[in-house]
Amino acid sequence: MVTSPIPPTAWALLLRGLMRNRWPMAASFALLSLWQVCETMVPVMIGVIIDRAVTTGEVRELVITGLGLVLLFTVLSYGYRFGARIGFGVVQREMHEVRVEIAAHALHRRGARSNLMPGETLSLATADAEMVGLVLRSIAFTVAAFFSVVVAAVLLFSIDVVLGLVVVIGVPLVLLLAQVVTPAISRRTEHQQATIAEATGVATDLIKGLRVLKGIGAEAVAGSRYRRLSQHARTASIASTSSYGLMTGLTAGLSGLFLAVVALIAGHRALSGEITVGELVAVVGLTQYLAEPLGMLGDISAHAARSHASARRIVTFLHTPPLVEAGGSSAGSHELTLRGVHAPGMDGLDLTSAPGEILGLAVADPTTAGSLVRLLAGELPPGAGVVALGGVPLAELTTDSRHAQLLVSPHHVDLFEGTLRSNVDPLSALDDAALQTLLEASSAVDVAALDPAGLDQPVSADASTWSGGQRQRIALARALAVDIPLLVLHDPTTAVDAVTEHRIAAGIRAMRGTGRRTTWLVTSSPALLAQADRVVLVREGRVVAEGSHHDLAHDAAYAELVLR
């Protein structure tokens, strides 16, 4: 699939939306402009009817001009109907394209190095994408309004040169004066979207962690934090809307004052006999009608400012670098090696494993353990030293080569809405017997038995109805299902009881202890470490001891970490 390059600026993003929808937008522009021109002609047509039929009493003229008015309203109605329909379709397609682009960046195989919370990313794909799409609708109506004002000026010139000059000079002046608050709208809209996104992100995290919050009695603290952020978002929304309201009010006030002047001049010229009664009606009707297109022309800068603020947030996100570096090389084997690695918590760390080995890593410092897992996943580049797979540094491997050889299963569990089957086997590559084996190895058979549907039981978003231990076991089953040459597991049993932990340890040995599959267990669990072929103890960023779990049990530092 060919993907378009990421726009370098917010204006480029908005322009891209216009260009890639240029033909349907052109059709929408034409039909909406026809609608607005017909709207402009309505008061003129009424004036013609008055001059040719009402004041003269000519029935034939009344019928002809009446039919002309019917035709005018027919074209007006269908011009708006189809123009607005095409424009609405364009807006929805553009919103969809932007949402897909944001989702594709967030879900890219190499990840996105962004500090946004999930809720903030969601806000980009909803509220901000909507603002980017809606600017196309605003442009369409602005183009139509422009043609309407031009036609109105021409008509007024044809009726009276003075009135035409007043409109030609007054309209740009009104629009120029109304733009003074546009910069404030842009600034406040961007702040509003940012605070709403932050509040949404916190709300999402609170919902996901509600069980934990209740367990530690922190509901009040979490609720207070959300209320504070929500109030900030409310204040920002009020400020943004106030600026937009000021723009709208200023445009309406100036337009009303200007149109009143036009009507007064027209009335004076009618009293002096320089224009007819029908022309006076046409002028008054035109001045009343012009309030609508003038409002559209005045609003475009506000709409553009708000859309630009959202587009800037989207472009900033789309330009975040990949989380994992990738090159063009392939790994010759699945031998994983760390040589002289310096990273947070590591001081010249050396590690390697033999093919088919289950290697236990007892890491004294949890921060070091987390850094090690991120390092192996490619998310954290080493400050010095080399992390190599098959003799090739991780950063030089292609994404496909890395994924074919290595899977890092982090401690944090992410499950997805769907079924138990789709969470364990997302690619639908396994039959029921294989899935049953995986559930037994991860001691998750009881989770499948919770519902009569078994493997096809529904799973809510993030499996929020399951306990931490249940989610952890399903995630382990999913990791084992990949059957990859090199698997790294980080604390896969911290939320289960001791009996279940021993069953899981035996299951991992049964699933990964045969053939040439290599497994790294980053854990302090004695049950898991007892199943390892070799255990290394990492303290102060270095390997300080190694051997079997039984042998290391006599080491005081190891015993303090593992056997406490």
Q: CA-CA-CA-CA torsion for 415, 416, 417, 418, nearest 10 degrees?
A: -90
Do residues 290 and 152 touch, judged by C-beta distance below 8 A?
A: yes
**Cα-based distances in Å from 91 to 85, 199, 290, 432, 562:** 10, 27, 26, 45, 59
Among 161-175, 380-394, 440-454, name the one with the lowest average pLDDT. 161-175
Per-residue pLDDT band for 458 (boundaries 50, 70, 90) equals: very high
Please enumerate in sequence order all residues whose Cβ is within 8 A of that of 23, keeping only pairs 6 or more positions apart, or say none: none
Query: What is the rounded CA–CA span in Å between residue 428 and residue 426?
Result: 6
pLDDT tier, 266 (very low <50, low <70, confident <90, very high otherwise): confident
Q: In this predicted structure, what is the pLDDT of residue 246?
A: 65
Phi-psi region of 387 (alpha: psi -120 to 50; beta: other; left: phi over 0): beta
Which CATH architecture is the domain 10-318 placed in?
A: Up-down Bundle (1.20)
Query: In this predicted structure, what is the pLDDT of residue 196?
Result: 61
- Tens-place pLDDT, residues 144-158: 999 988 888 888 788
- Give the least confident one: 163-167, 232-236, 477-481: 232-236
pLDDT in tens, 331-382: 878 899 999 999 999 999 999 998 899 999 999 999 999 999 999 999 999 9
CATH homologous superfamily, domain 336-562? P-loop containing nucleotide triphosphate hydrolases (3.40.50.300)
Using only C-alpha atoms, the chain has a radius of gyration, in whole angstroms, of 34
Residues 6+ apart with CB under 8 A from 514: none
* C-alpha–C-alpha distance, residues 128 and 315, integer Å: 11
Cβ-proximal residues to 252 (8 Å cutoff; 6+ apart), any chain? 291, 295
Contact 305, 63 (CB under 8 A): no
- Provide, rounded to the nearest whole percent, the portion of the chain with pLDDT above 70: 87
Q: Which of 448, 459, 447 is nearest to 418 (CA)?
A: 459
Q: Phi first, then psi: what are they for 411, rounded to 5°?
A: -70, -40
Give the residue-averaged pLDDT of 270-296.
Answer: 78
Place 414 in a pLDDT band, splitting at 50, 70 and 90.
confident
Question: Domain residues of the chain, as ranges?
Answer: 10-318, 336-562
pLDDT for 84 equals: 95
CA distances from 214 to 97, 206, 207, 412, 461 (A): 40, 11, 11, 19, 19
Which uninterrupted H or E stretch holds 343? strand 336-343
Q: Note the pTM of the prediction, 2 decimals.
A: 0.78
Q: Label the pairing between strands 392-393 and 384-389.
A: antiparallel
